[in-house]
Amino acid sequence: MEPEPDAALAAAARAALVREIDATGVWRGDPGLRAAFESVPRHVFVPYYYVNAGGGHERLWGEDPDAARRARWLRGAYADAPLATRLRDGDLLSSSSQPSLMAMMLAELDVRAGDRVLEIGAGTGYNAALLAHRLGDEHVTTVDLDPEITESARRHLAAAGYRPAVVTGDGAAGCAERAPYDRIIATCTLGSVPRAWLAQCRPGARILAPLATGLITLTVRDAEYAEGRFLHTPAYFVPLRGGSRRAPHEQHIGGLPRRALQNELFRFLLELTAGSLDPHEALALWQREERPVRERFGITVSGPYEWAWLDDPEGPYVWPL
Q: Catalytic amino acids? A: 94
DSSP state of 111: -
Spatial contact of 33 and 21, defined as CB atoms under 8 Å apart: no
From CA 298, how far away is CA 228, in angstroms rounded? Answer: 6
* For residue 194, cis peptide bond before it (omega within 30 degrees of 0): no
CB-CB contact of 193 with 210 (8 Å): no
Pure H helices in 57-185: 67-77, 99-109, 126-135, 147-160
Determine if the peptide bond prior to 234 is cis (ω within 30°).
no
Helix (H) or strand (E) holding 203: strand 201-211
Q: Cα 79 from chain centroid? A: 17
Q: How far apart are the first and last CA of the chain?
A: 60
